């Protein structure tokens, strides 16, 4: 919409309201840091543009005509709306500077993002941090809709694509680290003190605690044990927390990401078990919109997460490294059937 040329300026409407308040063009001019002739000229020009007589001038001062009073009523509404507009802009700028909206896959939001925020050399104390979680598709939609500044995603990605930033489908991604999968048991399980690697057939025959069908962890566990036939005994649980609780207090084993059990390993409640084959690593990426630059706090969080490096298992008191008695292991490489491109994980 193009405004008509006779539309009054905000400054002129504000000046008219001051004349109404002070009852004098001279006093109103002084309040607006104007000379009296300049203020009179601006009001006269507004009268000509609108075709209205706005003031009655006399030696005693100036007062608004009936038409002037009607215009002043409109002017008050316009000036209030203008002030609200300025306040909105101020709040938006303040919110942009002091707000961090981040999202991640469930395990990342629960086990990694809090540590990146709290154990960093940077202070987020002055920022309002909002953390959301969701599936890979949900995270992608949050990014593209600008509902979050940054998201951390995971997927079964091969070692390729771990370079710098990559651009695709409106998203920018940056490799952060690998989160390795591991076989985990409770402290009372015989495998907790075993010095030789467990075989896939032994794992398939053992009582297990598994994630629900359709989850990434369940897909990998089924792939790992697929050649060994059906599992003899298992309980299916809907969350990593439930699985950890079940394993810590029973003779069951499970497969979990190292990031999700670091606290329990340090406390000695859970133990890692060496296996006779290489386990894949879940690559974690930061992702954000290609259309928007990262806000300062979001950019700092990406650097903090990347600087933490690989997620090394924590060995608790009295525990042995799970590599004891097993062959020297190189960098884990996921099975080909499980490998997907980082961008395909969020496409």
Same domain as 336, residue 246: yes
Same domain as 24, residue 156: no
Same domain as 332, residue 245: yes
Same domain as 16, residue 151: no
pLDDT at residue number 11: 93
Same domain as 131, residue 76: no
Evaluate whether 43 touches 15 at the Cβ level (below 8 Å).
Answer: yes
The predicted-structure confidence for 109-143, as pLDDT tens digits, reads as follows: 988 998 888 865 455 566 788 899 988 888 988 99
In a domain? residue 245: yes
Residue where a domain terminates, one of 60, 90, 120? 90
Beta-bridged to residue 234, according to DSSP, are 208
Evaluate whether 274 touches 203 at the Cβ level (below 8 Å).
Answer: no
In a domain? residue 98: no
Residues 6+ apart with CB under 8 A from 88: none
Q: Residues 268, 270, 185, 283: what is their CA dihedral angle, to the nearest 10 degrees?
A: -130
- Structural domains of the chain, count: 2
pLDDT at residue number 100: 85
| Cα–Cα dist 28/33, whole Å | 9
pLDDT at residue number 230: 57
Residue where a domain terminates, one of 26, 57, 90? 90
Q: Which domain holds residue 36?
A: 10-90
Same domain as 119, residue 48: no
Residues 6+ apart with CB under 8 A from 119: none
- Residue 331: give its domain's CATH number: 3.40.190.290
Give the Å distances, CA to CA, from 201 to 191, 221, 226, 254: 14, 12, 10, 14
In a domain? residue 96: no
The predicted-structure confidence for 7-26, as pLDDT tens digits, reads as follows: 889 999 999 999 999 999 99
Joined tokens for residue 114: 């809090």
The one-character DSSP state at 199 is P
- Which stretches of the chain drop beneath a pLDDT of 70? 1, 89-97, 119-126, 155-168, 227-232, 309-347
At 81, which helix (H) or strand (E)? helix 66-98
Evaluate whether 281 touches 334 at the Cβ level (below 8 Å).
Answer: yes
Q: What share of the chain is helix, strand, coil (3-state, %, to 5)?
A: 45, 20, 35
Same domain as 161, residue 51: no
Of residues 206, 190, 217, 182, the one with CA closest to residue 326: 182
Give the Å distances, CA to CA, from 221 to 186, 216, 339: 18, 9, 15
pLDDT at residue number 339: 35
Helix, coil or strand: residue 283: strand
| Cα–Cα dist 156/223, whole Å | 13
Same domain as 123, residue 69: no
Residue where a domain terminates, one of 61, 90, 119? 90
pLDDT at residue number 332: 38
Same domain as 153, residue 121: yes
Beta-bridged to residue 103, according to DSSP, are 132, 151
Joined tokens for residue 108: 């990342």
| Cα–Cα dist 113/305, whole Å | 8
Same domain as 151, residue 84: no
In a domain? residue 280: yes
In a domain? residue 95: no
In a domain? residue 330: yes
In a domain? residue 2: no
Evaluate whether 311 touches 177 at the Cβ level (below 8 Å).
Answer: yes
């Amino acid at each position: 919409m193009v405004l008509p040329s006779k539309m009054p300026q905000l400054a002129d409407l504000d000046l008219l309201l001051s004349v109404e308040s002070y009852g004098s063009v001279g006093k109103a001019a002084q309040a607006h840091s104007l000379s009296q002739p300049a203020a009179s000229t601006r009001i006269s020009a507004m009268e000509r543009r609108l075709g209205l007589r706005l003031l009655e001038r006399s030696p005693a001062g100036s007062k608004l005509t009936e038409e002037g009073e009607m215009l002043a009523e409109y002017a008050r509404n316009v000036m209030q709306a203008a002030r609200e507009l300025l306040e909105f802009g101020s709040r938006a700028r303040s919110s942009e500077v002091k707000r961090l909206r981040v999202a991640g896959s469930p395990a990342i939001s629960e086990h990694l993002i809090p540590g990146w925020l709290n154990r960093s050399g940077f202070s987020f104390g002055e920022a309002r941090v909002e953390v959301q979680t969701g599936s890979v598709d949900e995270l992608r939609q949050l990014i593209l809709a600008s509902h979050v500044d940054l998201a951390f995603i995971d997927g079964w990605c091969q070692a390729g694509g771990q370079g710098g930033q990559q651009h695709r489908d409106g998203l920018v991604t940056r490799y952060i680290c690998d989160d390795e999968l591991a076989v985990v048991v409770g402290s009372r399980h015989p495998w907790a003190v075993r010095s030789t690697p467990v075989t896939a057939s032994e794992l398939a025959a053992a009582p297990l605690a598994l994630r629900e069908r359709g989850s990434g962890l369940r897909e990998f566990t089924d792939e790992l044990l697929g050649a060994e036939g059906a599992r003899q005994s298992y309980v299916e649980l809907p969350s990593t927390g439930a699985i950890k609780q079940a394993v810590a207090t029973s003779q069951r084993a499970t497969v979990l990401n190292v990031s999700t059990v670091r606290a329990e390993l340090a406390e000695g409640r859970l133990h890692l078990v060496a296996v006779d084959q290489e386990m894949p690593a879940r690559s974690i990426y930061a992702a954000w919109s290609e259309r928007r630059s990262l806000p300062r706090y979001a950019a700092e969080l990406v650097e903090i997460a990347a600087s933490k490096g690989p997620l090394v298992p924590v060995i608790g008191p009295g525990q042995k490294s799970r590599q004891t008695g097993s062959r020297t292991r190189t960098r884990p490489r996921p099975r080909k059937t499980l490998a997907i491109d980082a961008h395909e994980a969020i496409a």
